[in-house]
Amino acid sequence: MPYKDILSIVKYKREDVIAKKIRKFRELDILKGPYYDINLGAVGENQMYDIYTDVTLSSEDRDLVFQIFKEILGARWIFPIQQEDRFLARFSCNHYSIIGKLFGLLKKKKLIAYKMAASRNRWIKMNPDFFGDPVPSSQTLFDPCTLPDISYPSIKPGIKWNSADITFMQYLQVETDSKSRIRDIEYKKYGHFWRYSQIQSSLRKIESSGIIQSKDYNISPYPRNKCCTFILVLNALQKKPLLTVLHNFGRGCRIYKTYTMAGNTGFLFCWASTEIVPEIIEIFDNIDSITAERIYYLRTHSGKYLHGSSFEASLFNTENQRWEFPYRRVKKEIENLIAENR
């Protein structure tokens, strides 16, 4: 939103005041973004799946399993929860069976047990109301509402993407849309030199293609290190009541949330007040149609077991414009890691 539009809402007189407050919010780790939701299924000639895994393991194998997960191309995030014998992880690749086979290998080696769910749905975001209650109510979960379409539109732009386009999509998704910052990171971190005009041309190509679903800022209800961060996993027999609950949970409250569905399972990620901890499960106790399968609290907001990234650019074949996963190579790398560490 342009600063002049913000001025008309908050009644400030000078744009530089808005700029200073935004900088302050970034310093406090309250404001992040913008981030772009990109329809990766529309980028390639084939689909992309998100695979969500709930993994149990021996705490003695924690380092090895974390290292293996990072070796699996397409690891989007690894969520270290308070129990040391568990990870939640999300992967993106062209078919869920690929991750299933790799996890089957880890299970056969007696490294993990796991549950897996796959989806091609979007994550829907809601930023906090800073004047709202810190703890949501169970009374509003089934309130009438207009439900969002969580599926990506089926479109094929007919555009041939090159490696630069794919690289810059990654930045839009999890890092920045600043052309100068993209150029600086690429040069300082990877030794790649891009002209400003190259980045600008590629970003315009991406923006005009129709693959961008949304552009959003993530706003935390409190400084990030003071938040309770958790993922709530919900199950239901029917999808519509589940989507209604996911959509209504925390509306009008001082909570940041983002949610998605994989079949009849819902995933709800939140930043909230620590006041929510004793209340969260009770909110769902008296609802017959929805089951709170588990709540996972983030162990730390930093540290070696926390991982987050964009999609894996190397999985896109620019020659045939398809997403491809090098299963045999990754399987061999995992087997080598296990042999070296056990």
Q: Is residue 288 part of a domain?
A: yes
Contact residues for 73 (Cβ-Cβ < 8 A; gap 6+): 93, 312, 314, 315, 325, 326, 330
User: Do 21 and 129 belong to one domain?
Assistant: no
pLDDT of residue 306: 84
Q: Give pLDDT, residue 301.
A: 65
> pLDDT tens, 15-69?
677 778 888 889 988 999 899 999 999 999 999 999 999 999 999 999 999 999 9
Instruction: Please state the rounded mean pLDDT for residues 148-176.
Output: 95
**Percent of the chain with pLDDT strictly greater than 70:** 94
pLDDT above 90 covers what percent of the chain?
Answer: 76
pLDDT, tens digit, 9 for 90 and up, residues 278-333 = 888 788 877 888 888 888 988 766 677 888 999 999 999 999 999 999 999 999 99
Q: Is 31 helix (H, G, I), strand (E, B) or coil?
A: strand
- Please check whether residues 80 and 26 belong to one and the same domain: no
Position 305 scores a pLDDT of 83
| Residue 173 or residue 297, greater confidence | 173
Interval 77-103 mean pLDDT: 92
CATH number at residue 230: 3.30.70
**Which of 112-116, 152-156, 184-188 is predicted with the least confidence, judged by mean pLDDT?**
152-156
The whole-angstrom distance between residue 188's C-alpha and the CA centroid of its chain comes to 26
Q: Mind giving me the DSSP string for 103-114?
A: HHHHHHTTSEEE
Predicted confidence at residue 283, as pLDDT, reads 84
170 part of a folded domain: no
Q: What is the pLDDT of residue 44?
A: 93
2 pLDDT more than 70: no
- Answer yes or no: do 114 and 128 share one domain: no
Split at pLDDT 50, 70, 90, the class of 4 is low
Q: Collapsing DSSP states into helix, strand and coil, what is residue 189?
A: helix
**Model pLDDT, residue 145:** 94
Q: Are residues 145 and 235 in the same domain?
A: yes
What pLDDT was estimated at residue 25? 87
Q: Which pLDDT score, from 0 to 100, does residue 280 have?
A: 83
Burial 229-267 (b: 16+ CB within 10 A, else e): bbbbbbebeeeeebbbbbbbbbbebbbbbbbbbbeebbb
**pLDDT score for 15:** 67
- Is 239 within the bounds of a domain? yes
Confidence label for 242 from pLDDT (cuts 50, 70 and 90): very high
Are 110 and 225 contained in the same domain? no
Average pLDDT over residues 109-123: 97
Distance of CA 300 to the CA centre of its chain: 17
* Spatial separation of the C-alpha atoms in residues 299 and 78, rounded to whole Å: 12
The answer to whether residues 104 and 243 belong to one domain is no
CB 123 within 8 A of CB 259: yes
- How is residue 21 written in tokens? 């407050």
Banded model confidence at residue 7, pLDDT cuts 50, 70, 90? low
Tell me the residue range of the domain where 23 lies.
Answer: 3-32
Domain assignment present for residue 188? The answer is: no
| Residue among 99, 100, 152, 95 nearest 324 (CA) | 95
Residue 311: Cβ-neighbour burial (10 angstroms; 0-12, 13-18, 19+): buried
Question: What integer is the mean pLDDT of 7-16?
Answer: 61
Count CB-CB contacts under 10 A for residue 268. 20
- In the prediction, which pLDDT does 22 show? 83
C-alpha–C-alpha distance, residues 297 and 87, integer Å = 11
Q: Does residue 22 or residue 334 have the better pLDDT?
A: 334
Length of the chain: 342
Contact 247, 61 (CB under 8 A): no
pLDDT at res. 10 = 60
Q: Is residue 203 very low, low, confident or very high in pLDDT (cuts 50, 70, 90)?
A: very high
Compute φ and ψ for 267, nearest 5 degrees.
-120, 125
Residue 88: which CATH number?
A: 3.30.70.920
Do 238 and 329 fall within a single domain? no
By the 8 A CB rule, do 334 and 341 touch? Answer: no
160 and 190 Cβ atoms separated by less than 8 Å:
no
Same-domain check for residues 228 and 322: no
Count of domains forming the chain: 3
Residues 226 and 146 in one domain: yes
Residue 208 forms part of a structural domain: no
- 11 has a pLDDT exceeding 70: no
One-letter amino acid at 75 equals: A
Cα–Cα distance between 74 and 92 in angstroms, integer?
Answer: 5
Q: Per residue in 220-234, pLDDT tens?
A: 999 998 999 999 999
In a domain, 279, yes or no: yes
Quick one: pLDDT at residue 60?
Answer: 92
Is residue 305, in this structure, part of any structural domain at all? Answer: no
Residue 93, strand partner residues? 49
- Where b means 16+ CB within 10 Å and e means fewer, 112-121 reads bebebbbbbb
- Asked whether residue 143 falls in the same domain as residue 257, the answer is yes
3-state secondary structure of 241: helix
Same domain as 92, residue 58? yes
In a domain, 316, yes or no: yes
Q: Are 130 and 73 members of one domain? A: no
Q: Can you give the pLDDT at residue 284?
A: 81
Reported pTM: 0.92
